[in-house]
Amino acid sequence: MFAYEIQAAGKRARAGVFQTPHGVLETPVFAPVGTQATVKTLTPVQLEELGASLVLSNTYHLYLRPGDELVAGMGGLHRFMQWPYPLLTDSGGYQVFSLARTRTVDDDGVTFKSHIDGSSHRLTPERSIQIQENLGADIIMAFDECADPGDREYIQQAMQRTHRWAERCLLAKRRPDQALFGIVQGGVDPDLRAASAEFIASLPFLGIAIGGLSVGETKEEMHAALDVVTPLLPENKPRYLMGVGTPEDLINGIARGIDIFDCVLPTRLARHHAAFSPEGRLNLMNASFARDQNPIDAGCSCYTCRTFTRAYLRHLIVARELLAGALLSIHNLHALVQLVKDIRQMIFSGTFEENVPQLLERWENNAARKQP
């Protein structure tokens, strides 16, 4: 049910297909984030039209609201949000560790308070799998501990806990129509990353995720971690770099053998009036766009660029019209989905590696994170 086949490969980059119960995923792939069972401001039809094939949703948020049992009662997440294509849920681990200020970790699991009403909740590996089985995504994640960068001793402890929890998630899993991915942790320490990659790779997961990156480390540290990890992973399983990233992260990640990405950046930028463009990231509220008859990107084939001028988009932003957020989300998501699709074609034609410098140059002014 979850066969992964590599169809073309470069030096380390891979182009493949991953079978899921809701269709074939062509990899590499960029997944829009639909935190609360909706990619913010967009309908499923708009998502499909902009080229999305995989959507991520967040277990932490859906567990709290509307509740995983309610979603199960409504026929599962695909039917609830009317996304008939592949879905991925995270385990809740990242949110619990990053969102909840008041949480306590023990070897069995995590107790935390809801950001909605302060009520107390507990997640364990078994509970996370149970919730994800209620939600019913095609790809589900092991419950992990995403440690803050910096403290090596704690990162090692968290990594070891993540490993024990990974085994418990495999034992807890019941549904055959979901692919469970293990998560490699270990911060930016090469030895810990290698140990984690080897351990997670040794377990019978159907895919491997790399967590704990894009959480404050430098680009060089992220690349070094990937350079340690991906060579230790089995070739025949898809690899997912969680919560990443910027256009340059996608280019660099694919060049290091990553197959799946997700990030809130495109929709978050849209809410802040920013758009990816060949000229760099544009803030469309800027007065210089008031009479600009060009689309955001004349080379872009998204609905927004095929239809509207920068002047109109700026008007919507200045007039505080919500349509602006939807139109910019369409463009920004399409830009990253299409970038990854273009790279996929380059992998087939054997031209990706030679194009990396010019791809990075094309996107360098659209970077999300400044180098420290």
- Which residues are identified as catalytic? 90, 262
For the CA atoms of 300, 247, 256, 153, the dihedral, rounded to the nearest 10 degrees, stands at -160
Q: Is 21 in the site for its own copies (CB under 8 A)?
A: no
Q: Which of 45, 204, 298, 358 binds its own copies (CB under 8 A)?
A: 45
| Residue 271 C-beta: closest distance to its own copies, Å | 9
Nearer to its own copies, 232 or 323 (CB): 323
Q: Is 114 in the site for its own copies (CB under 8 A)?
A: no
Phi, psi of 231 (to 5 degrees): -65, -20
Q: Is 12 in the site for its own copies (CB under 8 A)?
A: no
Q: Pairing relation of β-strands 110-113 and 103-105?
A: antiparallel
State the amino acid at position 332 in one-letter form.
Answer: N
| Residue 307 C-beta: closest distance to its own copies, Å | 5
Nearer to its own copies, 330 or 336 (CB): 330
- Give the range of 4-12, 31-39, 176-184, 352-360 binding its own copies by CB under 8 A: 31-39
Binding mask 317-346 for its own copies (x = CB under 8 A): -xx-xxx-xxx-------------------
Nearer to its own copies, 3 or 290 (CB): 290
State the amino acid at position 182 in one-letter form.
Answer: G
d(CA 348, CA 369): 30
Which of 298, 357, 363, 362 lies closest to 331, judged by CA?
A: 298
- Chain positions 282 to 301 lying near its own copies, rule: CB under 8 A, are 290-291, 293
- Give the range of 69-77, 168-176, 192-200, 220-228 binding its own copies by CB under 8 A: 69-77
| Residue 40 C-beta: closest distance to its own copies, Å | 7
Note the helical H segments in the chain.
Answer: 44-49, 59-64, 68-73, 77-81, 93-98, 125-135, 152-172, 190-201, 219-229, 247-255, 265-271, 303-307, 310-318, 323-349, 352-363
Q: Is 65 in the site for its own copies (CB under 8 A)?
A: yes
State the amino acid at position 119 in one-letter form.
Answer: S
Q: Is 264 in the site for its own copies (CB under 8 A)?
A: no
Which of 338, 263, 346, 261 lies closest to 15, judged by CA?
A: 346
Q: Which of 1, 7, 73, 216 binds its own copies (CB under 8 A)?
A: 73
Q: Is 44 in the site for its own copies (CB under 8 A)?
A: yes
d(CA 219, CA 292): 35
229: its two tokens: 């990890």
| Residue 327 C-beta: closest distance to its own copies, Å | 7
Nearer to its own copies, 194 or 318 (CB): 318
3-class secondary structure per residue, 329-361 = HHHHHHHHHHHHHHHHHHHHHCCHHHHHHHHHH
- Give the range of 12-20, 238-246, 315-323, 362-370 binding its own copies by CB under 8 A: 315-323
Q: Pairing relation of β-strands 14-20 and 4-9?
A: antiparallel
Q: Which of 275, 316, 343, 368 binds its own copies (CB under 8 A)?
A: 316
336 to 201, 205, 267: CA distances (angstroms): 29, 28, 11
Give contact residues for its own copies (rule: CB under 8 A): 36-38, 40-45, 61, 65-66, 70, 73-74, 80-82, 290-291, 293, 303, 307-309, 311-312, 314-316, 318-319, 321-323, 325-327
